[in-house]
Structure 1
Amino acid sequence: MSDAIVFNAETRERAGKGAARATRRSGRVPAVIYGDKKEPVLISLEPVQLNKEMNRRGFFSHLYDVKVGKDTHKVLVRDLQLDPVTDIPLHVDFMRPSKGEKITVEVTINFINEEDSPGLKYGGVLNVVRHAVELSCVPTAIPESIEIDLAGLEVGDSIHISSVKLPEGAEPTITDRDFTIATIAAPTVSKAADTEEEVTEGEEGEEEAD
């Protein structure tokens, strides 16, 4: 797990749609922190940092520190409301996980070393079955992403969840089967046809030159 990123937040005194609209008119984004059997905390966020984090990989699986006055809350993003037209953030729900509590998060998959896969190098296609995996884990074990090394994989090889090294304390929520994450598929028909066409054109060119 990567280091926590800090959001500097301000408290909001009132809940409700009117208060939230007033917060947005002031140039900030309304939010709430709940969970861990504690009272909810109404806050507002600075939109520039929020927009930056929204565009990072793993926004919903990253453990953030939200600093409100002298208090710091370790939280996960549980809901994000966006304007349907502009995609501007309208409201954020943060959850405080209880200590030792296992939570469910969806973690994105990052494929590395594609250039070192013989199957891909010679025309194979990476067929991604799952772009993310749902994990059950304690908050301190949430990975930023899951890296899958493609080095050495040939056409016909498959990557299953059993071959993926997960952090201690994290496990997939699907436990009844060794599900497939990706395969190295044979070249598509169209790609093979394009290759044949290039060869034919090359041969014709040689004949004309003769």
Structure 2
Amino acid sequence: MQIEISANKRTLQGKGASRRLRGSGKVPGIIYGGENPAQAIELDHNGLYHKLKQEAFHASILSMDLDGEKEQVLLRDIQMHPFKLQVLHIDFQRVDKNKKIHMKVPLHFINAENAPGVKLSGGLVSHVLTELDISCLPKDLPEFITVDLTDLAAGNTLHLSDLKLPEGVEIPTLGRGENLPVATIVIPRAVAAEEAAAQVAAADIPTTVQKKEGAAKEGEKKDAGKKK
């Protein structure tokens, strides 16, 4: 389902005009790109603020109703107040359906509890990346990329080349020869210490048994000597 937003064209610009706009519950912004010139816009703050809480709003093609005209846009930048829950400014980019776009999308990790490194070795999943820069046509843009950790063992690392991408989606980083790590499983120190202690204990068992067997045989020899 496509996310829709409403905006109006803005004629007054400058710091004073933007300040008055924010005081009236609006957010100044801009929409640029495509064949049309950049256009200053204003949006309702409360409606925009709630939409910004949606993960998909940051990585989806948005349908903007600009004074009754529909445009396909991407969210490109947000300026927040340093300490208030207030959006100060927002940027959108127009989308050309025939041109590839570059976008950062979130990574969703699944099956961590079934990974051998977690299930068998007591390890913890470390997320090296939480979002991914991708390239694709607007129609192929996914809301997120799924990362399946089912086969990840302790000490192993999942890289960009291991990801299963939706059709039409590319990773520019891979094209530059940078196969970055995405996730790995690390063993906590406490678990590692317990395993080391168990290994040492297991290694000592044969020695202890041999000593006991040797002592028993020595005792048998002494008893046999006394009987003679």
Give the TM-score category using the shorter length: 0.7 to 0.9
Q: Is the 8 A contact 2:3 2:57 kept in 1?
A: no
Distance across 1 between alignment mates of 2:24 and 2:195: 60
The SS at the match of 1:62 is: coil
> What are the residue-to-residue correspondences of 1:48-63 with 2, within 5 Å?
48-63=46-61
Distance across 2 between alignment mates of 1:17 and 1:89: 15
The corresponding residue for 2:153 is 154
The corresponding residue for 2:226 is none
Alignment gaps of 5+ in structure 2: 198-228
Tell me how far 1:93 sits from its aligned partner. 0.6
The corresponding residue for 2:130 is 131
Structure with greater Cα Rg: 2
Q: Which has the higher helix share?
A: 2
> What are the residue-to-residue correspondences of 1:36-185 with 2, within 5 Å?
36-122=34-120, 123-174=122-173, 175=175, 176-185=177-186
The corresponding residue for 2:206 is none
Counterpart of 1:30, as a letter, is: P
Distance across 1 between alignment mates of 2:91 and 2:47: 16
Distance across 1 between alignment mates of 2:79 and 2:71: 21
Identity of aligned residues (%): 35
Q: TM-score, normalised by structure 2?
A: 0.77
| Cα distance change on mapping 1:57 and 1:194 into 2, 3 Å | farther
Tell me how far 1:144 sits from its aligned partner. 0.8
Counterpart of 1:129, as a letter, is: V
Q: Is the 8 A contact 1:5 1:64 kept in 2?
A: yes
Q: Is the 8 A contact 1:60 1:105 kept in 2?
A: no
| Cα distance change on mapping 1:43 and 1:191 into 2, 3 Å | same
The corresponding residue for 1:190 is 190
Q: Is the 8 A contact 1:67 1:73 kept in 2?
A: yes
Q: Is the 8 A contact 1:58 1:108 kept in 2?
A: no
Q: Cα deviations across residues 93-135 of structure 1 (Å, max 9, x unaligned)?
A: 1000223222221111110122222321231121222111111
The SS at the match of 2:39 is: strand
Q: TM-score, normalised by structure 1?
A: 0.83
Q: Is the 8 A contact 2:152 2:158 kept in 1?
A: no
Distance across 1 between alignment mates of 2:153 and 2:196: 22
Counterpart of 2:129, as a letter, is: R
The corresponding residue for 1:5 is 3
Q: Is the 8 A contact 1:9 1:67 kept in 2?
A: yes
Counterpart of 2:34, as a letter, is: D
Following superposition, which runs of at least 4 residues in structure 1 exceed 4 angstroms of deviation?
Answer: 193-197
Q: Let me know the Cα RMSD of the aligned residues.
A: 2.2
Counterpart of 2:139, as a letter, is: T
Tell me how far 1:49 sits from its aligned partner. 2.4
Distance across 2 between alignment mates of 1:53 and 1:192: 44
Q: Which has the higher strand share?
A: 1
Number of residue-to-residue matches in the alignment: 194
Counterpart of 2:189, as a letter, is: V
